[in-house]
Chains A and B, each alone.
Chain A
Amino acid sequence: EAGVTQSPTHLIKTRGQQATLRCSPISGHTSVYWYQQALGLGLQFLLWYDEGEERNRGNFPPRFSGRQFPNYSSELNVNALELEDSALYLCASSLYSGGNQPQHFGDGTRLSIL
């Protein structure tokens, strides 16, 4: 069974640009989560999508947005990139929403802002 896949592996952008990160969940999983792992800040919850709808978002500005497609894959968009957006962005999926379902993570996309 294929795990959570993320693309691209690395992304280099400059300040003010926009970045799009993609995630394909494990087959059969309907919930997708996004986390940011920035140096010194640990893992921070960004967004949660379930059945195509945004269910919850963390304490991030509106320039962080995303969507979930009918096939349950997801995109994370970051507009007006700032230097502090440099981080590893991890996507996770779970079988369905619910605190008891373990989230399975992808390898991440490392976003570097120059």
Chain B
Amino acid sequence: AQKVTQAQTEISVVEKEDVTLDCVYETRDTTYYLFWYKQPPSGELVFLIRRNSFDEQNEISGRYSWNFQKSTSSFNFTITASQVVDSAVYFCALSEPLNTGTASKLTFGTGTRLQVTL
């Protein structure tokens, strides 16, 4: 069975600090996809990034960066120079591969609540 663990329940930082959100996953599949979503107080889940299991390149998008390490089954997310608008709950998710016939189901971690204060 697939599992996603976000050990950090809540993180509080002061604006402009860097913060890293941890995500560890478990799967027996060799092909899978990892995602990060952001859920601001308004409730909607906002898609941030998708990474497939064959691509271990790190990615940077503005103040966001992601570190995917297959050897440790981790897909960590770093926000550089955090801002108050980054305050939200962040979810890491894992999708099952297509060939099982159960494609597209997302398994979510329990989320990390990030609070950025002035």
Contacts and interface: CB of A to CB of B under 8 A. Distances in A.
Is the pairing of A and B real?
yes
Interface of A: 31, 33, 35, 42-43, 45, 48, 50, 55-56, 58, 88, 90, 92, 94, 97-108, 110
Contact of B47 (A33, A102, A107, A110): A102
Contacts of B32: 99
5 contacts: A33-B104, A56-B105, A97-B98, A99-B104, A103-B106
Contact of B107 (A45, A104, A105): A45
A94 B107 CA distance: 16
Nearest to A48: B104
A105 B42 CA distance: 12
Contacts of A43: 91, 106, 108, 111
Contacts of A33: 104-106
Contacts of A108: 43-44
B83 to A, nearest CB: 22
Interface string B6-21: 0000000000000000
Interface size class of B (residues with CB under 8 A): 20 to 34
Contacts of A104: 47
Contact of B98 (A31, A45, A48, A99): A99
B45 interface: yes
B102 A100 contact: no
A100 B52 contact: yes
A94 B98 CA distance: 14
B37 interface: yes
B70 interface: no
Contacts of A31: 104
Contacts of A50: 104
Nearest to B31: A99
A104 B108 CA distance: 14
Contact of B104 (A88, A103, A105, A110): A103
Contacts of B44: 105-108
